[in-house]
Every structure is written in C-alpha cells, then in structure tokens.
Amino acid sequence: MDIKDFIAPFAVWKRAFEKPFTVKKPIDERPGAPRYRGFHINDAERCVGCGTCEAICMNKAIDLVPVEGREAKEGDSGLRPRVDYGRCCWCALCVDICPSGSLNMSNEYLWIDSDPDVFRYTPGVDKKPWDGAELGYRRAEGYRLLDEQRVPMAELGHREAVKSFLELVQGYSRAQAEKEADRCVSCGLCIASCPAHMDIPGYIKAVREGDLDTGLRLLYETNPFPEACGRICTHLCEGACSIGTGGDPVAIRWLKRYIADQVELSAYAKALPRAEPSVGKKVAVVGAGPGGLSAAYYLALLGYEVKVYEKDGEAGGMLRYGIPEYRLPYPALDKDIGYIESLGVTIKRGVAIGKDLSLSDLRRDYHAVYLSTGLPVAYGLEVPGDKHPRVLDGVAVLAAATRGEELGLGKRVAVIGGGNVAMDAARTALRHGAAVDILYRRREEDMPADADEIREAKAEGARLIEKSIPVEVKDAAGALAGKAALFVWNEAEMVQKEEGKRPVPEAIPGALREELYDSIIAAIGQGPDLSYVTEEDGVPMKRFKPLVDARGMASPGASPKGGAIFAGGDLVNDRKDAISAIADGHRAALSIDRHLSGKGA
C-alpha cells in the first residue's frame, strides 16, 4: 500500500474552515437571476398608454384599462396596461417594444394565492412588493425593435438657402416614406392633439402599404389642405407621438406631404368622394384662407352652392401672403385650392366685403354666411416715431414679397417680434441680401415662433437680440433722413413677478441701445378687421372677436332679415394656426348643414 493512501484522507482537513460548496437546506430565499423575466413593473408616470404592449402580445394577455385619477391628456391616453398572468408566457416582447421604456419586468417569480383572479393586475398602479425592483428583465442596451431615429429629410444647406426662395425641404422618396411610416405603431395618441383630429395612423398605414389613393381620401376626410399642411403645419401631432417618448417622433407632417405630392391633381377626383346632389341652397364664405376654403370644400361636398369672397387678388389667405414660398411653394398651395375649385366652389377674387359688397347683401342673397377673415391688421410698435416711413409692417412685407414687388428693404434690417411672422420676415429679408437683427422683448425660449423657425433663422445668419424693449424710432441724421431710422431699445432683465406665471421683461434703467437700420419691420402681432360687420348683423363681440357657440354660429339670423352667420379661424380661435382654421371650417360646414337642413337642430 502506498503512503499516499494514508495521507490523502487528512489532506481534506485543510479545507475545513473554507466556505462549503454545498447548499444549506431548507432553502428560504430563491432569488431569480438578475435578468429573470418575472412579474411586470411599469413606471406609470413615464407610460403614455399607447397600447403597443397590448398590440405585440402574442397571447392577448394585456388589456389597456382606465386608471382612477389619471385623465387623458395631450400625448397620454390615461390608460395603462393590465396583465393577465393566466395568459402571459413571459416572452417579454412587451418590454422590448415599449416606446417609452416604462414597462419592464422584475425578477420576482414567486406569488402564491388561492384566488385565481388576483393574478391580473395593472403594474405601477396596483401596488406590488416588486414595484421598483432593481433587478429583472430590461431591454438590452442598444436593442430596439423600433427605430429611434427618423428617416433624415434632405434640406437645402443654410448657405444655399438664403440665396433664393427655393423650397428648403425636399420631401421623401417612396423608399424613405415607407421606412418612416414603418416607425409608426398606430397607437393613435396623436389624433386628439390634432385640431382637425385627422386619422393619422390611417394615412400612415396607407403610406406603408403603398395605397396612396386611400391615404389621400383619409387626408381629405378632415383636411382639404394636405399639400400646405404637409409643409407648414404646426404639427402638434408630433409632440404627442408615442415614438417620441423614446426617440424622434414619427415625421407625420412629411408623410402627409408625401401622399399629396405623389398623387397628381388630375388623379384626385378618382380617389376622393364626389359631391352630393345639389340641395338647392347657397352659402357665402368671406375670406379665401385655409379656414374659409375648408368650409367651402365640405359644404360643396354636401351639395351646397358656395361662393367665396376674397379681397386679395389670389386665394389662400395667410398661406399665400404670409408664408414665404421657400416654406410653401405656390404650386403646392395652388394644387390644394385647385381641387376645391374643381368641385364647383366659386372664388370671387378681389371682392372686399364692406367695400364692394356688404355683409347684409350676403345675408340677403345666401342662406348662411361663414366669416373667416383672419387677422390681417398688424399691430403698430406703439412707440414715439413709429410712423417713420422706414417702419414697415411684417404682414405687408410678406404680402409684397408674394406679389413679387420690389421690397427695397435696404442692407440693414431690424425685425421686431418673436413669432412666426417675425421669423418669416427676417428670413425673407435675408434672402434679399440684408443683414438682419431680430429684436424680441423676452428670451429666445419665450418666443412664440416654432423652434425650427427660430433655429433656421439664426442658422441663415439672422442675429437674435433678446430682452430688448422698443423705446423709440428716431429719424436718421443728415443725408439719410427719411431713408433710414435709428431704432432705440432698452435692455431688459427677466423678473419673476408672480409665482407660477411666466417671468416678465423689465427695463434695466439707463441701458439704452440704438442701431441704424434701413428698414424696421414690426411683427408683434395682428388683429382682425371687422369693419364690415355692422350692428344690424347681430354678431355679438367680445374683445374684438365674434362670439360663437359650440357649433361655430355667431348669429342665428332669421328671414326675411337674412341668413345665419357662422365664424371661425384666426378670427375666433386662440390657436391661430392653419390647421385650427381648417378644423373650424370643417365644423362650421357641418353646423351650417345641420342648421339649414333642420337635422339635429
């Protein structure tokens, strides 16, 4: 026998005080693996109730349910997913797809109860011991079922852009549009945020499936200006997009444009509904902007004879005279308007109500009148010297640019204001070769203009002077008198005057600045021109706005005095954008139909 055989048994003693490899029984704790797929957890604050988890679940284990104390709001349905563990197979696709990343799984897998109905709960709402678990299944870093980035849009470079009025945004190709449409999960959170409540998931699906006729038909159900809105819409929908909670929102506006761009005007009639047979009634619309023409379109579809009165030489309103052609080229706008006219809508261009015809004439000759005259009158600077000949009005400058007139802005231009009109005026001046300063009384983040517009105006070379309160316009001295003006402003600081309200600019004593400009463009807001409405029309007013009821009706009217008056658009609503005017026009058309046909009145 070998000596080793005696020693070996004692050798194991050297391990006597080490941690044993064996497991102690009974086992009290059985933690799941760190990435174990256990019961769901959901960050109910981050969740937007889009239902993508429900849609992807192979076993229909997830329901979207209303939750007490959680209301629907912009970009959040207020619903939350409830999981039925009688159906769940723990595949975690719901976690992998969740756009916001709010839905995850804990590594808890032990839960014993004799009541089968408890195994159905709303994570993050019904309290559970594993809420907030650090461990459990999470989407792996860099692993996304949804594309976080939108398909990039080709745009003119800023250097190139300021040389001409060429359209900046070049539009998607078919491959790009279908790829972008593929990012949409059809949750429909966007619909509520759109003033016109367009069927956005519907038309994106049509893009995905290459069925553009269906896409166009869905667009026209709620919006007869797809070419215009596909370019310049304020796209509130994109702010509500669930995909935007974990990446770029779907490029809804560009997809709308893609549909309208792809279908030839001559092919519209094939895709879109025909007008109903004539009902033998006439409606007049005052103002051929997007709101007035929308009302005209839907009224024509319903069988009304519609005449639109437009004071300017061309139809389109602010879309034509306010928005420069590098954002909305005239042929695109003409396509939208052309289709509306092809339905038999007559547009009387160059006829001003209150001058060439009176509102009471219209009330006498028509069964109803829709007022959609917008906000054509620019506010003045209201500082000493603001009547100087070099102080121009932003809306007038943009309209003159549209009419192709010589603007004669000069080399140094100041634009006063922070809205979209200010940005458009600044960028128009840049395209005429001027050096442009934008002066705004608050900070950049307070500017009401779209963020894109501000960013692009700056990128194209406009200088932004924030916190500048206009004080005075002084005539230039010497040879420049009457040809240039000194703009005087007071530097300001932002002061929080009232808790919870936005801070206000307050002039810093003595901090006066002045600069010499060839033109000073005031773009600080616009008001309505309601001089054509007389007392006998019976339109109630409040703060220079016609007061309308939920149907858009301003004055019921009664024969023989005349037809009812409806009003909408910028003239009435607070949003003051094209899509809201379009929504108002659509609503007014339906209300006028109900009113005149006696349906549901």
Partner 1 sequence: MNELATRLAARYGARGWHDQRADLATIVLDADRLRDALAYLRDQEGYRHLSFATAIDNIERGVFTLVYTLRSHDKGHSLIVHADIDRQKPVVDSIHLLWAQAWTYQREMKEWYGIDFPGSPRVDEEFVLEGWEGPPMMRRDFDSLAYSDATYAERPGRATSDPARHMKEQLYPEAAE
Which residues bind to partner 1, rule: CB under 8 A?
49-51, 54, 58-60, 63-66, 71-73, 77-79, 84, 86-87, 89, 117, 120, 187-189, 191-192, 197, 201, 550, 587, 590
Min dist CB 595 to partner 1, Å, is 13
Contact, 377 vs 529, CB < 8 A? yes
According to DSSP H, which parts of 391-507 are helical? 394-402, 420-431, 451-459
Please state the closest distance from residue 252 (CB atom) to partner 1, in A: 14
User: Smallest distance from the beta carbon of 247 to partner 1, in angstroms?
Assistant: 19
> Judged by CB, which is closer to partner 1: 416, or 581?
581
CB of 201 to partner 1, least distance (A): 7
Q: Dihedral (C-alpha) 263, 264, 267, 271: value to the nearest 10 degrees? A: 30
| Beta carbon of residue 546, minimum distance to partner 1 (angstroms, whole number) | 19
Cα separation, 372 vs 298, whole angstroms? 15
Q: What is the dihedral of CA 217, 567, 403, 172, to 10 degrees?
A: -30
Q: How far is the CB of 95 from partner 1 (least distance, A)?
A: 18
Residues 220, 365, 549: CA angle, nearest 5 degrees = 55
Which residues sit opposite 94 in a β-bridge? none
Rounded CA separation 59/81 (Å): 14
Closer residue to partner 1 (CB): 54 or 424:
54
> CB 574 → partner 1: shortest distance, Å?
16
For residue 244, what are its two tokens? Answer: 């935007």
E strand or H helix that includes residue 257: helix 252-262
Rank residues 80 and 183 by Cβ distance to partner 1 and give the closer one: 80
Residues 485, 390: Cα–Cα separation, whole Å:
7
- Comparing CB distances to partner 1, the nearer of 59 and 173 is 59
* Nearer Cβ to partner 1 (162/241): 241
Element (H, E) at 161: helix 158-161
Alpha-carbon dihedral of residues 548, 551, 553, 557, nearest 10 degrees?
-140
| Structure tokens that stand for 523 in this block | 């773009």
Q: Which residues of 172-201 are buried (b: 16+ CB within 10 A; e: fewer)?
A: beeebbbebbebbbebbbbbbbbbbbbbbb
Q: Which is nearer to partner 1, 97 or 319 (CB)?
A: 97
Nearer to partner 1, 83 or 438 (CB): 83
In the complex with partner 1, the residue whose CB is nearer, 65 or 481, is: 65
Q: What is the dihedral of CA 420, 502, 506, 386, to 10 degrees?
A: 30
Shortest Å distance, C-beta 469 to partner 1:
39
Whole-number minimum distance, CB 74 to partner 1, in Å?
9
Q: Which residue blocks in 530-577 are alpha helix, DSSP H? A: none
Nearer to partner 1, 138 or 197 (CB): 197
From its phi and psi, is residue 281 left (phi > 0), alpha (psi between -120 and 50) or beta?
beta
CA 276 to mean position of chain CA atoms: 32
Q: Report the residue count for the chain.
A: 601
Residue 58 or 166 having the CB closest to partner 1: 58
* Distance in Å, CB of 590 to partner 1, minimum: 5
CB of 117 to partner 1, least distance (A): 7
Residue 122 DSSP one-character state:
-
User: What are the residues whose beta carbons fall under 8 Å from the beta carbon of 541, sequence distance 6 or more?
Assistant: 530, 533, 547
CB nearer partner 1, residue 49 or residue 292: 49
CB of 65: closest distance to partner 1 in angstroms? 7
CA 332/CA 347 separation, integer angstroms:
18
Distance of alpha carbon 156 from alpha carbon 47, whole angstroms: 37
Task: Name the one residue in this structure whose structure tokens are 């105006």.
Answer: 457
Other CB atoms within 10 Å distance of the CB of residue 477: 10
Please identify, using beta-carbon distances, which residue of 242 and 428 lies nearer to partner 1: 242
For the CB of residue 370, give the shortest distance to partner 1 in the complex, in Å: 16
Nearer to partner 1 by Cβ, of 102 and 428: the residue is 102
CA distance 292 to 340: 11
